[in-house]
C-alpha cells in the first residue's frame, strides 16, 4: 500500500513533466529537439539521484510520525503446539521395494522409511583441454568448457521421516485506538515460529503472559495495519521501498524518453 503511494507520486511527477515538455519538443527544430531531449534526460537522471538519496529519510519520517503509542493488554496466549515432520535422506542407498513416497508421509505427518526418488550422489567436473598460444606459437594448455557430470547415483533414494511437536506461540492483544475521531478497543494477534524449541515457546508465552501490559504502536492512518511492538523502522525496509520507487521511476523515464525520441524523429 505504502509502496504504491510512493510509486504513484513518482509516476504523476514524471507524466506531468513529460506533458509539459512534449509539445515544446515536437514544435522545435531537429537540432533543438536533440538539445531539449538531452536536457530532459539529464534532469530526469538528477531527479532520480535526488529521489534515491531522499526516499529512505522521507519514508522513515512519514511512517514513524504516523505511529501512535498505546498500551496492549494480553487477553490470551498459546504455545501453538502442532505436529511437524522432517525428512532425513540416507546417503546413496536405494529404498526398500514397497516403501511409500517421502512426500506422502510428510503430507500425512507420518513417520517411517520412504522413497525420495532419483538422487545424484557424486558429481565430477570434466573439462576439455584448450591451448592459449602467443605469436611465437608457444602454447599453454588450460581447462575449458567444464561441465559437472553425475558419476554415482541412485534411482530411488532411501529416506526416513521423523515427527515430533513444533511450536508457533501466539498472544491475543487488545489496545485502545482512535481512528477518524472515534475511539474503540481493537484486537490483534502476534506470533513467533519456534520450530521444535519448547524453551523458545515457553519464553514467549511468559513474556506475553495473560493480563500483562506492553507499550505498542498503531498507525493512525491505516487501521488495518498490524500493531507495531517497536517504533523502530529498519534500514532494510527503507532500502526496499527506495528500490521500488526509484526502479519504477527509472523504468518510466526510459519508456517516456523513448516515446519522446520516436515522436521527435517522425515530425
DSSP 134-156: -TT--EEEEEEEEEEEEEEEESS
76 and 194 share a domain? yes
Number of domains in the chain: 3
Beta sheet of 182-191, edge-to-edge order = 182-191, 170-179, 67-78, 213-219
105 and 215 share a domain? no
176 and 105 share a domain? no
CB 28 within 8 A of CB 36: yes
76 and 207 share a domain? yes
> 174 or 60: whose pLDDT is higher?
174
Domain of 208, in residue numbers: 72-80+168-219
d(CA 100, CA 87): 13
- Cα–Cα–Cα angle for 82, 84, 87, nearest 5°? 175
pLDDT, tens digit, for every residue of 20-78?
455 454 455 555 555 555 565 556 556 655 555 555 444 444 455 678 889 999 999 99
Q: What is the pLDDT of residue 254?
A: 60
pLDDT at 123 over 50: yes
59 and 116 share a domain? no
88 and 57 share a domain? no
d(CA 254, CA 259): 9
93 and 117 share a domain? yes
204 and 76 share a domain? yes
87 and 153 share a domain? yes
52 located within any domain: yes
* Entry pTM: 0.54
pLDDT, tens digit, for every residue of 69-103?
899 999 999 999 999 999 999 889 999 999 999 99
pLDDT at 151 over 50: yes
15 and 29 share a domain? yes
225 located within any domain: no
pLDDT at 122 over 70: yes
200 located within any domain: yes
Determine the 3-state secondary structure of 59 from DSSP.
helix
DSSP state of 184: E
175 and 155 share a domain? no
Lookup result for grid cell 536533440 = 34
11 located within any domain: yes
198 and 76 share a domain? yes
Amino acid at each position: 500500500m505504502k509502496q504504491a503511494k510512493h510509486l504513484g507520486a513518482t509516476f504523476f511527477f514524471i507524466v506531468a513533466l513529460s506533458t509539459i515538455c512534449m509539445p515544446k519538443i515536437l514544435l522545435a527544430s531537429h537540432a533543438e529537439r536533440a538539445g531539449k531531449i538531452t536536457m530532459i534526460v539529464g534532469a530526469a537522471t538528477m531527479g532520480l539521484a535526488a529521489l534515491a538519496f531522499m526516499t529512505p529519510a522521507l519514508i522513515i519520517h512519514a511512517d514513524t510520525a504516523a505511529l501512535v503509542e498505546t498500551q496492549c493488554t494480553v487477553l490470551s496466549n498459546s504455545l501453538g503446539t502442532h505436529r511437524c515432520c522432517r525428512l532425513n535422506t540416507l546417503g546413496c542407498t536405494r529404498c526398500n521395494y514397497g516403501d511409500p513416497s517421502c512426500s506422502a508421509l510428510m503430507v500425512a505427518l507420518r513417520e517411517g522409511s520412504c522413497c525420495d526418488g532419483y538422487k545424484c550422489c557424486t558429481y565430477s567436473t570434466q573439462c576439455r583441454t584448450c591451448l592459449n598460444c602467443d605469436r611465437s606459437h608457444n602454447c599453454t594448455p588450460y581447462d575449458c568448457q567444464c561441465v559437472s557430470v553425475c558419476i554415482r547415483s541412485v534411482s530411488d533414494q532411501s529416506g526416513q521421516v521423523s515427527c515430533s511437536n513444533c511450536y508457533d506461540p501466539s498472544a491475543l492483544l487488545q489496545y485502545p485506538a482512535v481512528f477518524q475521531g472515534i475511539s474503540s478497543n481493537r484486537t490483534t494477534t502476534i506470533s513467533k515460529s519456534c520450530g521444535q524449541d519448547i524453551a523458545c515457546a515457553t519464553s514467549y508465552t511468559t513474556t506475553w503472559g495473560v493480563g500483562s501490559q506492553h507499550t505498542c504502536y498503531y498507525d493512525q492512518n491505516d487501521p488495518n495495519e498490524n500493531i507495531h511492538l517497536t517504533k523502530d523502522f529498519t534500514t532494510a525496509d527503507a532500502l526496499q521501498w527506495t528500490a521500488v520507487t526509484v526502479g519504477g521511476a527509472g523504468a518510466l523515464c526510459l519508456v517516456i524518453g523513448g516515446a519522446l525520441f520516436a515522436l521527435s524523429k517522425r515530425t
